[in-house]
């Protein structure tokens, strides 16, 4: 499904909608260039679980763990991850299934994503507009 976002708030609202449909162990894989809106999406996503203010880009730590109202959220940034060893060092394989994963720069680890991952692709079409393509979840 394709969505058109015209503001960071639109993107956050789509994230909240998706967050509201999850059980607690899903992998949400985000794709798109720098500035496309992956962290904005994650902020809206975390806000649904009562965590808005905690979200920052985990580029340096590779993963941030948030304790939500009901679930744990593992926020990964795979920008600097290129080998299996790198990926292992993030804890990806240790935490999988133990919380919701939200993964920036999923391009870099695509072959290690589970087949039931929810895939969200961001395309910047102008300063404030994004096309957001969502696959792997029924949004109705």
Ligand X SMILES: Nc1ncnc2c1ncn2[C@@H]1O[C@H](COP(=O)(O)OP(=O)(O)O)[C@@H](O)[C@H]1O
38 binds Mg ion (CB under 5 A): yes
CB of 65 to ligand X, least distance (A): 18
Q: How far apart are the C-alpha atoms of 79 and 58, rounded to whole Å?
A: 10
Q: Using only C-alpha atoms, what is the Rg of the chain?
A: 14
Residue written as token pair 């999988």: 96
DSSP state of 21: T
Q: How far apart are the C-alpha atoms of 98 and 72, rounded to whole Å?
A: 7
Contact by Cβ (8 Å): 105, 77: yes
Q: Which stretch binds Mg ion (CB under 5 A): 12-20, 56-64, 107-115, 131-139?
A: 56-64
Q: Is the dihedral of CA 39, 99, 22, 32 positive or negative?
A: positive
Q: Which stretch binds Mg ion (CB under 5 A): 1-9, 57-65, 87-95, 123-131?
A: 57-65
Site string for Mg ion, 83-122 (x = CB under 5 A): ---------------------x------------------
Out of 18, 19, 32, 73, name the contact with ligand X by CB under 6 A: 32
Binding site for ligand X (CB under 6 A): 5-8, 10-11, 32, 34-40, 104, 128, 130
């Amino acid at each position: 499904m394709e969505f058109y976002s015209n503001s960071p708030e639109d993107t956050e609202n789509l994230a909240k909608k998706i967050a509201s449909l999850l059980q607690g162990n899903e992998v949400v894989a985000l794709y798109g260039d720098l500035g496309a809106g992956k962290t904005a999406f994650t902020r809206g996503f975390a806000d649904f679980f009562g965590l808005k203010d905690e979200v920052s880009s985990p580029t340096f730590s590779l993963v941030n763990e948030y304790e939500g109202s009901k679930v744990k959220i593992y926020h990964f940034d795979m920008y600097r991850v290129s080998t299996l060893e790198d990926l292992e060092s993030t804890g990806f394989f240790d935490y999988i299934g133990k919380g919701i994963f939200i993964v920036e720069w999923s391009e870099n680890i695509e072959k290690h994503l589970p087949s039931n991952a929810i895939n969200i692709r961001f395309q910047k079409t102008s300063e404030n507009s994004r096309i957001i393509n969502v696959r792997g979840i029924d949004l109705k």
